[in-house]
Amino acid sequence: MIYFKTLLKFSFLVLFYFILSSFFLNKLNLEVDLGFGFKRIYSREIQKINFTLENLTSNLKKSPSSLDSAKIYLSKARVEYKSIEPFVIAFFPGDARFINRPIILEMAEDDEITNYVEPHGFQYIESMLYSDSVRFFRKRIISEIDNIYSLLRNINQSIESMEIHDRDVFDAMQMHLIRQFMLGFANFETAESRTGVQESKALLISYEKILLEAYPLAEGKQVDVKEELFISINNAVAYLNEVKAGEDPDYFKFYMQYYIPVSEKLVSFRDYFVREETMNTTAINFHNRSVFDPHAFNSNYFLPAKRLSDKERIVELGKILFFDPVLSANNLRACASCHQPDKGFSDGLPKSQAFEPGKFLTRNAPTIVNAVFQRKLFHDGRAFTFEDQAGQVMSNALEMHNDFSQVALKLRTSPEYVRLFRNAYVGTEDTIISNRSILTSIAEYERSIVGMNSRFDKTISGREDLLTADEKEGFNIYMGKGNCASCHFIPLFNGLMPPDYVETEWEIIGVPELKQGYKPKLDPDIGRAGVIDVPIFRHAFKTPTLRNIEVTGPYMHNGVFKTLEEVIEFYDVGGGSGLGYKVPLQTLSSDSLLLTPTEKFQLISFLKSLTDTTYLTSKPSQLPLFPGEDKLNERPIGGDY
């Protein structure tokens, strides 16, 4: 019996030693369950949020004088939610949209024929709580609070049984770092309370807590990597602590000196501590230092393309086709007629030249520089791929007026074109010139037209110091007082919402028609409603990129503004509504921005720092010949008009 007890104790000690050794061995080998640390913190934070929400509800049920306290509790709940929001979005995206979604009416990106998606959650509560009619919204606010409470409780229960891998958590952390600092930091979600700085600080602090719990031990170089990340986080938090309530930070300084180091060190931490098992399939390459790196974006993620055997030759072939007017019915109009390299691949006209000389289209030609970083093409977003876009233009009677079924037959009569296609598509079924290979070639050339290396990019990423003090201050105005970043999201400066880069922003700003006489009025172009006929799209247009804006005027879809000064004045007065036009559902605030002359100058100076046409101005040296077609062989590179 004594022997049996001794054996039992010894077995227990061996088992305990094995478990303990395995635990420390796993820690030292860095094969830990980051999800466990996350779950533990998540549970604690949920309790805090629930307590704050209870206080918020309690204050709403009291006298009107308690509204100030209610606002404080709302901001506190939002700040606390930031600690867990990365993971709610990553693991429960549907619920996340009901907890913290924009307050505008919208439609699902992939389903624009069904009902509107109504606003819900924290942002909706804030809009009502800060409204002059808040007393009428009390019951609705309390209902929204109850909904958030219920969703968080259910999520908390569900997540306990989930298997969460380290890669999932790091993906969520890196994605939300972009979401918060490209959107939330500039008060995109908190237009009334202006708590973007406090929420950003809370997010950074939560990252340190989670990683400290998950990785308490490290060795050698791993210790340095860990400490470097925490130092960068603490430095960023220390700077944000110095920002006074109600004031904007020095955005340029913060991104350059604090955000990028945090992003870079988080990447290093991930590389050292996490064994990757799958390829990155997001818009962002997570192994770049930050989103401000020239190659931070995975261009294949945005507009779909097929895998090609010899992409370089296909791009070069597409370039020749882009500049060749032989694709038009009269051999005088090329893609480059409206997308000219020296004008940022726009045409410099208020409204683009139509096929018939002397006549014009209803809109101007948007730049195709960085168009690959979009989800929809044309001002109204009616095309989903470059192939579709090019095909629509060639077959449009008002543009290139060609019978597209005849284009391939036409090109086959040129031995040079036959050789170019055969070499570009060697080993595929597209060696014989076809409509598909023509469109694919042009599309691949358009996908290659990328300009992400402006003076702004070089400076903010720390590679060179090329911006003046006025240009840097102009960026701060862009992010803060000017409110430009709430529609033209950095760093792409277009309307594709980070960090998923799936949802396209459609804005109704009340653009006037071309000025005639002394009383200009709202432009009659219905915009996106011509594609999807619903009220929220009437006079709505895709938010364009501001990159290369210095060389792509005149501005707006109808070219009504000749200069950037006119554009800034229009926004400063509050758009069409601010000018006194009747603009139903205008998404732009009608309040004046109250920009000073100096601030307007600085803002425009910054916008000009986004110019990058260094590698975008080359044209083919010659076009392929057609035997026996002397007149055709005299066609100009880039078209005649």
Q: Percent of the chain at pLDDT above 70?
A: 89
**Rounded-to-integer distance, Cα 336 and Cα 635, Å:** 13
Tens digits of residue pLDDT in 24-37: 334 333 344 555 66
Of 170, 208, 180, 205, the residue nearest 286 (C-alpha): 170
136 vs 539, higher pLDDT: 539
The confidence score (pLDDT) of residue 40 equals: 74
Tens digits of residue pLDDT in 350-401: 999 999 998 999 999 999 999 999 999 999 999 999 999 999 999 999 999 9
Angle between helices 415-424 and 311-322 (to 10 degrees): 150
Of 439, 421, 446, 447, the residue nearest 309 (C-alpha): 421
**Rounded-to-integer distance, Cα 571 and Cα 483, Å:** 10
Per-position b or e across 407-424, b if 16+ CB within 10 A of its CB: bbebbeebeebbebbeeb
Tens digits of residue pLDDT in 323-346: 999 999 999 999 999 999 999 999
How many other CB atoms are found less than 10 A from the CB of residue 109?
13
CB 333, CB 399: distance < 8 Å:
yes
Tens digits of residue pLDDT in 572-625: 999 999 999 999 899 999 999 999 999 999 999 999 999 998 777 789 999 999
470-486 mean pLDDT: 97
The confidence score (pLDDT) of residue 307 equals: 65
Two tokens, residue 228: 């470097």
413 vs 156, higher pLDDT: 413
Q: What phi, psi does 287 have (nearest 5°)?
A: -95, 5
pLDDT bucket at 99, cuts 50 / 70 / 90: very high
**Rounded-to-integer distance, Cα 190 and Cα 185, Å:** 9
524 vs 35, higher pLDDT: 524
Two tokens, residue 557: 């879809």
Q: Identify which of 44-48, 131-135, 197-201, 519-523 has the greatest average pLDDT.
A: 197-201
Q: Which residues are paired to 506 by β-bridges?
A: 542
**Rounded-to-integer distance, Cα 372 and Cα 298, Å:** 10
549-570 mean pLDDT: 96
Vertex 569: Cα angle to 511 and 607 (nearest 5): 95
The confidence score (pLDDT) of residue 572 equals: 97
How many other CB atoms are found less than 10 A from the CB of residue 110?
8
Intra-chain end-to-end CA distance of the chain, in Å: 104
Which ranges constitute the DSSP H helices of 377-512? 386-395, 404-411, 415-424, 435-447, 455-460, 469-479
Of 277, 390, 261, 279, the residue nearest 327 (C-alpha): 390
* DSSP letters for 485-515: GGTSBTTTTBSBPTTTT-PBPEE---PBPSP
Mean pLDDT of the chain: 88
Spell out the residues 6+ positions from residue 139 whose beta carbon is closer than 8 angstroms to its own: none
**Rounded-to-integer distance, Cα 565 and Cα 138, Å:** 43
Tens digits of residue pLDDT in 49-79: 999 999 999 988 876 667 889 999 999 999 9
Of 421, 404, 393, 371, the residue nearest 544 (C-alpha): 371
**Rounded-to-integer distance, Cα 221 and Cα 243, Å:** 34
The confidence score (pLDDT) of residue 569 equals: 96
26 vs 478, higher pLDDT: 478
